[in-house]
Amino acid sequence: MKKTLLGFLALCTVTTASAANYVGGSIGTGGSIHYQQDRSATSAMRYSLDLAATGLSFNNLRVGGSADYLMNIPGQAPSALTPYYGAGLGAYVSLGAGTGVGLYPHALLGAKYNVSAPLSIFGEVNAGPYFNLGSATFFSFGWGARLGLNYQLNN
pLDDT tens digits, residue range 32-68?
A: 999 999 999 899 999 999 988 665 556 678 899 999 9
Q: What is the pLDDT of residue 76?
A: 84
The number of residues in the chain equals 155
Three-class SS state of 10: helix
32 located within any domain: yes
Give the count of domains, the chain.
1
54 located within any domain: yes
CB atoms within 10 A of CB 109: 14
8 located within any domain: no
Rounded CA-CA distance 148/126 in Å is: 14
Per-residue pLDDT band at 95 (split at 50, 70, 90): confident
CB atoms within 10 A of CB 69: 15
End-to-end CA distance of the chain: give it in Å, rounded: 34
96 located within any domain: yes
14 located within any domain: no
* Planar angle of CA 10, 14, 17, nearest 5 degrees: 135
DSSP 118: T
Alpha-carbon torsion (104, 105, 107, 112), positive or negative: positive
Whether 14 has a pLDDT exceeding 50, the answer reads no
Question: Which one-letter amino acid corresponds to residue 54?
Answer: T
What's 36's domain CATH number? 2.40.160.20
Q: What is the pLDDT of residue 54?
A: 60
Q: Which domain holds residue 75?
A: 21-152
Mean pLDDT of all residues in 69-73:
97
68 located within any domain: yes
pTM of the model: 0.80
141 located within any domain: yes
Q: For the chain, what is the radius of gyration of the CA atoms? A: 18
Whether 132 has a pLDDT exceeding 70, the answer reads yes
2 located within any domain: no
In contact, 36 and 24? CB cutoff 8 Å? yes
